[in-house]
Amino acid sequence: MTPVQGVDQAFWYILGISVVLLFGITVVMVYFVVKYRRSKHPVASDIRDNYKLEIIWTIVPTLIALSMFVIGWSSYVGLRTVPKDAMEVEVLAQQYSWLFVYNNDKETENELVVPVGRAVKLNISSLDVLHSFYLPAFRIKVDAVKGMPTYAWFFADQLGEYDIQCTEYCGVDHSAMVAKLKIIPEKEFAAWLEKESD
C-alpha cells in the first residue's frame, strides 16, 4: 500500500463511521421530537438515568475512537518512512515562491521536476517566515521553518502535473505562492537535469 492509499483508507474509515453516527443521531432526534410531541404524548415518563446504557455509550465510542487513532497513526507512519533509494531535493520557501535545488546544484523556481517511478524526499526549510509545503495529490504537507529543517516524501508513480500550494499564512501574497510538480519520464528527466538553468 502506498502512503496515499493508507491516508485515503483512514479518510474513508473515519468519514464512513462519522456519517453513520450523524445519520443515527439525527434520525433518532427527529423521531423523538415527532413521536413524543406534546399533543400526542402529554405526560412524560420520569427517566433520569440508566447506568448500563451510559456505560455502553462511553465504552463503545472509546473503542471506535481508539481504532480511528490507530488507523490514523499507521497512515502517518507511511508518510514519514522514507525509502532508502529516494532521490533528494532541497526545498527553500521564501516570500512568495518555492526554490528547488537538485544535488548537482541545479536550481528552479516554482517548478519541481522529478522522474516517474522514483521515491522523492524533500528537505524543506525557509529563508524567512513560516510557510508550509502542500502537495494535495500526494497527501503531504509540512511546515518550512527557518533554522529547523523538516522533510516529506512521495512516490512519483504517475506521469503528470500536480499543484503545490503554501498552507501556512506567510503574508500578502500567500495565496499566490503556488508551484507545479511535473513528473516526467526517466530519460527526459536526465536530460533536463543536465541542462543549464537559465
CB of 89 to other proteins, least distance (A): 18
Q: Check binding of 166 to Cu ion (CB under 5 A).
A: yes
Choose the binding region for other proteins from 100-108, 109-117, 127-135, 187-195 (rule: CB under 8 A): 127-135
Whether the Cβ atoms of residue 163 and residue 136 lie closer than 8 Å to each other: yes
In the complex with other proteins, which residue's Cβ is closer, 25 or 191?
Answer: 25
Total residues found in the chain within this entry: 198
Identify the residue whose cell numbers are 529563508: 127
In the complex with other proteins, which residue's Cβ is closer, 27 or 191?
Answer: 27
Q: Check binding of 45 to other proteins (CB under 8 A).
A: yes
CB of 131 to Cu ion, least distance (A): 5
Q: 55-94: which residues touch other proteins (CB under 8 A)?
A: 57-58, 61-62, 65-66, 68-69, 71-76, 78-80
Task: Choose which of 50, 103, 158, 197 interacts with other proteins (CB under 8 A).
Answer: 50
- From residue 31, give the alpha-carbon distance in Å to each of 22, 23, 133: 14, 12, 47
Whether the Cβ atoms of residue 115 and residue 39 lie closer than 8 Å to each other: no
Q: 127-146: which residues touch Cu ion (CB under 5 A)?
A: 131
Q: DSSP string of 86-135?
A: -EEEEEEEETTEEEEE-TT--EEESEEEEETT-EEEEEEEESSS-EEEEE
Judged by the rule CB under 5 A, the positions of this chain that interact with Cu ion are: 131, 166, 170, 174, 177
